[in-house]
């Protein structure tokens, strides 16, 4: 994660409500040996602004995470694990967090009506609520810089109406072969040097299928990037259970597989892959122990009800995605959506409303700003 702290914030009104109805200013958890471990939710103010850590979760000085997480280096033993699954496991019995009059809880039983009510809040109220929830779970002065590299461009057989890489559309994109392992690792090294802590590799094809030689190369890429100490993400189309397991064994951190839009609007955008196909791949990724990165695109001719519908699907999955990228359509001439002037009318307020609603209904999820961001001021 990249920290850039410009202000000091002391969030003294944080409270955690546990099952049983009591409120605490810290999270308590019983360890296997019967001892109680406490994790403070208060801001720790250091002597230097550059050292300030805002709203991080730190263990109390008298305790250590070494017994539960022996692989954590000594100098980080008072920090909770970076792995989202390990981190969330510490709060399985947590019910509600509260701050500044706003309650937040991890739920998988949201209704469309509840999400729509949040989405339709007056803009400033929505911003306030989402910013407050964000500060309950995340450092508000911290973002993660990621780099995405297309390791196989063009030639995809899908008919996604927005995509310039489909063979069904006549665009400026020309098919290229899969990049060599050494080229990808050189690009990853440059990305790390530029400040990225996550490196994602994308291939323009429908599925891995029987691409055994290409898959071997991709596994080598994953191992190489993982060896640099970066988070590794891939987006390679549909995966089966064995392919997902091999990627996990190679060191893959996350797999991106977007749903794009609501189930109702989806058939108007893509016909060569079903919504259920996408959900099956997400399930295979999750079962392999890989973090799920799954979001959508605004500007595909959808209604606001479709945006709510997409969030509803994501927020009611058995486990929320660890990452939800919110994209805005980048219209490309030659694609069906690049020729329709009524498509893609998305502004910063649309994006902000979608991001804010995602933050509230999936508080532990990292919301990512991806395609389309360069078109905003």
- The whole-number pLDDT of residue 334 equals 75
Residue 103 lies in a domain: no
- Annotation says 294 is catalytic: no
Please, what are the averages of pLDDT over each run of 10 residues along the chain (377 residues)? 25 38 37 42 37 35 40 47 65 82 92 97 96 89 87 80 74 83 95 92 79 90 94 93 95 94 95 93 95 94 95 96 91 75 74 96 91 68
- The whole-number pLDDT of residue 346 equals 84
Q: Which of 129, 146, 198, 200 is catalytic?
A: 200
- Residue (of 277, 267, 349, 274) closest to 300 by Cα position: 267
Q: Which two tokens stand for residue 363?
A: 């508080």
Q: Which of 146, 233, 234, 294 is catalytic?
A: 233
Q: Which two tokens stand for residue 222?
A: 């994953």
- Partner residues linked to 24 by β-bridges: 16
Q: Which of 146, 156, 234, 294 is catalytic?
A: 156
Q: Which domain holds residue 355?
A: 109-375
Residue 318 lies in a domain: yes
- The whole-number pLDDT of residue 363 equals 93
Cα–Cα distance, 5 to 245 (Å, whole number): 38
Residue 217 lies in a domain: yes
- Annotation says 146 is catalytic: no
Going by the DSSP 8-state scheme, the letter that residue 256 receives in this structure is E
* Helix axes of 212-227 and 181-193: crossing angle, nearest 10 degrees: 30
Residue 10 lies in a domain: no
Cα–Cα distance, 280 to 241 (Å, whole number): 10
**CATH number for position 297:** 3.20.20.70
Angle 104-105-111 from CA coordinates, rounded to 5°:
100
- Annotation says 368 is catalytic: yes
Cα–Cα distance, 231 to 349 (Å, whole number): 30
Residue 48 lies in a domain: no
Q: Which of 135, 293, 294, 353 is catalytic?
A: 293
Residue 260 lies in a domain: yes
Cα–Cα distance, 237 to 87 (Å, whole number): 28
- The whole-number pLDDT of residue 274 equals 93
- The whole-number pLDDT of residue 61 equals 35
Q: Which of 56, 97, 160, 359 is catalytic?
A: 160
Asked whether 46 and 60 are in contact (CB, 8 A), the reply is no
Residue 328 lies in a domain: yes
Residue 164 lies in a domain: yes
Count of CB atoms situated within 10 Å of the CB of 253? 24
What is the Cα 112 distance to its own chain's centre?
21
| Alpha helix stretches (DSSP H) within 112-211 | 112-119, 123-137, 181-193
Cα–Cα distance, 309 to 201 (Å, whole number): 28
Name the one residue in this structure whose structure tokens are 């702290």. 5
Number of domains in the chain: 1
Q: Which of 97, 135, 146, 163 is catalytic?
A: 163
- Annotation says 234 is catalytic: no
Asked whether 187 and 240 are in contact (CB, 8 A), the reply is no
- The whole-number pLDDT of residue 77 equals 42
């Amino acid at each position: 994660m990249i920290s850039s702290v410009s202000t000091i914030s002391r969030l003294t009104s944080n409270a955690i409500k546990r099952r049983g109805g009591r409120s605490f200013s810290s999270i308590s958890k019983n360890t296997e040996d019967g001892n109680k471990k406490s994790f403070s939710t208060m801001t720790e103010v250091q002597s230097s602004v550059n050292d300030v850590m805002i709203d991080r979760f730190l263990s109390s000085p008298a305790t250590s995470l070494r017994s539960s997480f022996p692989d954590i280096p000594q100098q980080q033993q008072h920090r909770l694990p970076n792995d989202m699954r390990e981190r969330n496991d510490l709060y399985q019995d947590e019910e509600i967090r509260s701050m500044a009059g706003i309650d937040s809880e991890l739920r998988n039983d949201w209704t469309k009506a509840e999400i729509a009510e949040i989405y339709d809040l007056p803009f400033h109220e929505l911003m306030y609520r989402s910013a407050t929830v964000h500060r309950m779970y995340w450092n508000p002065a911290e973002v993660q810089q990621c780099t995405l590299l297309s390791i196989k461009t063009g030639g995809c057989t899908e008919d996604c109406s927005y995509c310039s890489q489909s063979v069904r559309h006549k665009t400026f994109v020309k098919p290229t072969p899969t990049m060599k392992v050494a080229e990808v690792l050189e690009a990853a090294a440059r990305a790390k040097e530029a400040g990225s802590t996550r490196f994602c590799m994308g291939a323009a094809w429908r599925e891995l299928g029987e691409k055994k030689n290409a898959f071997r190369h991709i596994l080598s890429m994953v191992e190489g990037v993982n060896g640099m100490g970066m988070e590794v993400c891939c987006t390679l189309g549909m995966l089966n259970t064995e392919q997902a397991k091999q990627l996990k064994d190679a060191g893959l951190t996350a797999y991106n597989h977007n749903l794009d839009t609501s189930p109702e609007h989806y058939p108007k955008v893509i016909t060569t892959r079903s919504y259920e196909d996408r959900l099956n791949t997400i399930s295979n990724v999750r079962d392999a122990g890989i973090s799920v990165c799954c979001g959508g695109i605004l500007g595909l001719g959808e209604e606001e009800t479709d945006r709510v519908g997409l969030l509803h699907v994501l927020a009611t999955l058995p486990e929320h995605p660890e990452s939800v990228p919110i994209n805005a359509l980048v219209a490309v001439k030659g694609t069906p959506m690049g020729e329709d002037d009524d498509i893609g009318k998305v502004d910063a307020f649309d994006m902000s409303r979608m991001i804010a609603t995602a933050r509230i209904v999936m508080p532990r999820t990292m919301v990512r700003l991806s395609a389309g961001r360069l078109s905003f001021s």
